[in-house]
């Protein structure tokens, strides 16, 4: 008994450092970064739905231009949410419905010819290869046709026209679903359920996003995967939105790391890591700034730079992504004890 009392006294005499408040960090990340990012996508997707509807009603240079601008806006906004894609976007397979690529042109043309009617219910049940932003990109930007030809096809083919309008509406519906799922449901679950598990989920997802950019959007088109360079393997080959898409994704990763967005300062993963290892937190921030800067330095579209053999900046970005991914997967993961035991909850 005496020993227990002595131990209790010893413990009581020690200073207690306040634990890093991960719930507050997750709350801030949700409210300052994730939910506003999904709201921004929702707004852009609404604009896209309106623009594709207007294009179908009155195909013209103006409405085509507006639809293309709206498509770029929606895609940029969606890519900026990818850092939070572990939530409802993945669980409800919305990410596939919005952004499945590479584009399957044959499937899309077959759907236009044989399927329909292109009501919301049809898009709900349709496979991912015939819907989402990449399908719409093909129909709005297909470089095999001039603008006049694209407009003529829309005017002369009511099914094609309805398909374009339906695609825009479906993307908007998915965006609304994401906003509804995040607030309050998923946001609250993320904050309150198990903060450590939430942080693990986030870190693992950020590593996967960096891997996706490095491997699928850079290695393959640049020919760093052992095959010959393939300009057509870039993401978004029709609209030439390859660099813009990568930039939005990587800015989204930086948002999730810093917890800041749109001029609003929040609490991010960097603050949490800094509470354990300030030097590491600063290293990762610096590296993410480099990655964003290197992406901005690529003269878009990447497809053309690969064709010309001017890929120096893209290769530098590839190398910087490797090093950033390493920092996350080894150093950050160890510092926050984000490890995976052989199953989800077993280890010794």
- How near is the Cβ of 309 to other proteins at its closest, in Å? 19
Count of all residues that appear for the chain in the document: 348
Q: Is the peptide bond before 270 cis (omega within 30 degrees of 0)?
A: no
Q: What is the dihedral of CA 33, 35, 36, 41, to 10 degrees?
A: 120
Q: Can you tell me which of 115, 162, 173, 215 binds other proteins, judged by CB under 8 A? A: 215
Is the torsion defined by CA of 231, 237, 242, 245 positive or negative? Answer: negative
- How near is the Cβ of 121 to other proteins at its closest, in Å? 33
Q: Can you tell me which of 157, 225, 260, 304 binds other proteins, judged by CB under 8 A? A: 225
Instruction: Tell me if residue 142 falls in helix, strand or coil.
Output: coil
Rounded to whole angstroms, the Cα distance separating 242 from 314 reads: 11
Kindly state whether residue 219 participates in binding other proteins, applying the rule CB under 8 A. yes
Q: Can you tell me which of 105, 177, 274, 333 binds other proteins, judged by CB under 8 A? A: 333
Kindly state whether residue 326 participates in binding other proteins, applying the rule CB under 8 A. yes
Rounded to whole angstroms, the Cα distance separating 95 from 181 reads: 13
Q: Distance of CA 297 to CAs 106, 290, 318, Å?
A: 35, 10, 13
User: x/- site string to other proteins, residues 84 to 123, per CB under 8 A?
Assistant: ----------------------------------------
By CB under 8 A, the count of residues binding other proteins is 44
Q: Is 145 left (phi over 0), alpha (psi -120 to 50) or beta?
A: beta
Selected range binding other proteins among 132-140, 149-157, 294-302, 327-335, rule: CB under 8 A: 327-335
Q: Can you tell me which of 76, 129, 258, 325 binds other proteins, judged by CB under 8 A? A: 325
Kindly state whether residue 218 participates in binding other proteins, applying the rule CB under 8 A. no
Query: b/e string for 98-133 if b means 16 or more Cβ within 10 A?
Result: bbbbebbbebbeebbeeeeebeeebbeebebbbbbb
Kindly state whether residue 14 participates in binding other proteins, applying the rule CB under 8 A. yes
Kindly state whether residue 327 participates in binding other proteins, applying the rule CB under 8 A. yes
Rounded to whole angstroms, the Cα distance separating 146 from 337 reads: 55
- How near is the Cβ of 25 to other proteins at its closest, in Å? 11
Selected range binding other proteins among 106-114, 173-181, 249-257, 336-344, rule: CB under 8 A: 336-344
Burial class (CB in 10 A: 0-12, 13-18, 19+), 57: exposed
User: x/- site string to other proteins, residues 277 to 316, per CB under 8 A?
Assistant: ---x------------------------------------
Kindly state whether residue 6 participates in binding other proteins, applying the rule CB under 8 A. no
Q: Distance of CA 172 to CAs 7, 87, 120, 149, 305, Å?
A: 61, 18, 11, 27, 33
- How near is the Cβ of 87 to other proteins at its closest, in Å? 18
Burial class (CB in 10 A: 0-12, 13-18, 19+), 180: middle
- How near is the Cβ of 294 to other proteins at its closest, in Å? 19
- How near is the Cβ of 317 to other proteins at its closest, in Å? 16
Selected range binding other proteins among 11-19, 32-40, 93-101, 306-314, rule: CB under 8 A: 11-19
Query: b/e string for 214-226 if b means 16 or more Cβ within 10 A?
Result: bebbbbbbbebee
Kindly state whether residue 202 participates in binding other proteins, applying the rule CB under 8 A. no
Nearest to 134 by CA among 78, 92, 180, 83: 78
User: x/- site string to other proteins, residues 236 to 275, per CB under 8 A?
Assistant: ----------------------------------------
For other proteins, the binding residues (CB under 8 A) are 10-11, 14-20, 22-23, 195-196, 215, 219, 224-227, 276, 280, 322, 325-331, 333-343, 345-348
């Amino acid at each position: 008994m005496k020993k227990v009392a002595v131990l209790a006294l010893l413990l009581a005499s020690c200073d207690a450092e306040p634990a890093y408040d991960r719930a507050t960090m997750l709350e801030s990340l949700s409210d300052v970064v994730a939910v506003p990012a999904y709201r921004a996508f929702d707004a852009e997707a609404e604009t896209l739905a309106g623009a594709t509807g207007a294009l179908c009603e009155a195909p013209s240079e103006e409405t085509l231009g507006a639809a293309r601008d709206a498509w770029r806006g929606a895609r940029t906004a969606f890519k900026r949410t990818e850092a939070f894609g572990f939530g409802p976007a993945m669980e409800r397979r919305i990410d596939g419905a919005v952004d499945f690529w590479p584009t399957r042109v044959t499937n899309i043309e077959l759907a236009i010819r044989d399927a329909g009617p292109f009501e919301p219910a049809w898009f709900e049940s349709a496979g991912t290869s015939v819907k989402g932003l990449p399908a719409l990109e093909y129909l709005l930007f297909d470089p095999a046709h001039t603008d006049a030809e694209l407009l003529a096809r829309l005017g002369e083919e009511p099914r094609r026209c309805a398909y374009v309008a339906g695609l825009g509406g479906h993307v908007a519906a998915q965006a609304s679903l994401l906003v509804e799922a995040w607030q309050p449901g998923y946001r609250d679950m993320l904050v309150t359920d198990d903060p450590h598990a939430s942080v693990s989920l986030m870190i693992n997802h950020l590593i996967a996003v960096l891997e996706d950019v490095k491997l699928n959007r850079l290695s393959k088109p640049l020919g760093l995967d052992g095959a010959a360079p393939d300009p057509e393997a870039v993401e978004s080959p029709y609209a030439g939105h390859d660099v813009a898409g990568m930039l939005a994704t990587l800015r989204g990763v930086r948002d999730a790391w810093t917890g800041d967005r749109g001029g609003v300062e929040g609490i991010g993963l960097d603050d949490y890591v800094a509470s354990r290892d300030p030097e590491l937190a600063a290293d990762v921030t610096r590296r993410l700034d480099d990655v964003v800067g290197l992406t901005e330095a690529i003269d878009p579209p990447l497809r053309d730079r690969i064709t010309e053999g001017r890929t120096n900046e893209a290769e530098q970005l590839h190398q910087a992504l490797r090093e950033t991914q390493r920092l996350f997967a080894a150093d950050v993961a160890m510092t926050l004890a984000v490890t995976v035991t052989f199953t989800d909850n077993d280890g010794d």
